[in-house]
Structure formats: structure tokens, C-alpha cells
Amino acid sequence: MIRKAILQDARQIHKLLLNYAKDGLVLPRSLMDIFEAIRDFYVFVEDGRVVGAAALNICWEDLAEVRSLVVDENYNGRGIGRYLVEACIAEARQLGIGRIFALTYQQTFFEKLGFQVIEKSELPQKIWGDCIKCAKFPECDEIALSLSL
């Protein structure tokens, strides 16, 4: 079941993110950051446990990002990631956002959802808002993909 995250989900989201962040697959986020951004998150819950999460981060009046997409590795291949991204896309459409993007190592996954590769320079709000604070900046090896809504 997919739903908007609630405060009680924050620690489980944090644990999932840490599992991927230790391998450099997603950027780490502090528990405090997750609590502050809890309204951005969708979670996939099975048997009362959060097994997947993704956040829709609004960057500008016509731009939003899918970020912190993680699925418990025991649940990979079941479409949970796709459902989470589709929930983010639906909310972006509902808000009237014109374009949604992701910075990822999972290019094929996002392309299957209709995203297309773009240059990171097309995302100045992201670059100067978040990326400049990242340890990988300016040598980021993630792929930028975008979907027009």
C-alpha cells in the first residue's frame, strides 16, 4: 500500500536511506532532515513496515524532484519503486508542476517511466540549492533525467 508518510515512518525511512547511502547510491539524510521533510515523502507499507520510500521535493514554481527513492532490497523487482515514482508524478501534476526530474544512477528505470536524459546545467535551482553542498560537487557522476508533465 502506498500512502503519504507520517511522523512515525521517519525512523524506518531513515534506516532504508542509510542502507543505500553507505554504498553511495543515494545521498545520506539525517533523521532530523527526514522529520522536517516528512510531508514530501510517500511510503510503501507491507505488513505494517515501510519497505519503500520516495520524496517529491518542490524546487521552483514549475520544477520538482523525485529524491530519496529507496526500496528494501528484499522487495526489489516487485514494482514498488515504480509505484512510488508514479505517486510523486501524480502529486506534481495535481500541483500544476510542469517538469519533474531525478538525479540517479538508475537511468533505465527512469527512462521506462518516460524520463529523458538532460544536462545537469538545465537544473540551476538544484545545482545552486543542493548540489553545491554535496561532497561530489562539481564531479557528480549521477545522471539527470527529466519528465515534462
Residues with Cβ within 8 Å of 57's Cβ and at least 6 positions away in sequence, in order, are 37, 40, 64, 65, 66, 67
Residues of the chain with pLDDT under 50: 128, 131-132
pTM of the model: 0.90
Helix (H) or strand (E) holding 15: helix 10-21
Q: What is the CA radius of gyration of the chain?
A: 14
Domain of 74, in residue numbers: 2-148
pLDDT for res 139: 62
- The total domain count for the chain is 1
| DSSP element (H, E) containing 19 | helix 10-21
Q: Is residue 64 within a helix (H) or strand (E), and if so which, with residue range?
A: strand 63-71
Q: What is the CATH number of the domain that holds 98?
A: 3.40.630.30
Return the pLDDT at 122. 81
